Amino acid sequence: MNIKLPLAAQKKYSVKFYEPTGQFLFEVEHVAEPFLILEKAIFMHAGWFDFEVFENGKLLEKWNLYIPLSYR
């Protein structure tokens, strides 16, 4: 999964991830690169997850993402 934050080098972004129920999962406290790349394995199961992007501690955007179940 990729989150694009083109001004990450100039601004202080953080991203928080949640279950759809609102239960907090984890936070990336400082995004230093223009792309935040997360492995599917970080998420304990497939399904929908919510995330919030903060700039200097202030909520900037809210989104959700879907992590598909993969069989290999």
**Digit-coded pLDDT (tens) for 31-46:** 999 999 988 888 889 9
Amino acid (1-letter code) at residue 71: Y
pTM of the model: 0.87
56: its two tokens: 């200097």
Average pLDDT, the chain: 92
Using CA atoms, how far apart are residues 4 and 46, in angstroms rounded to an integer? 22
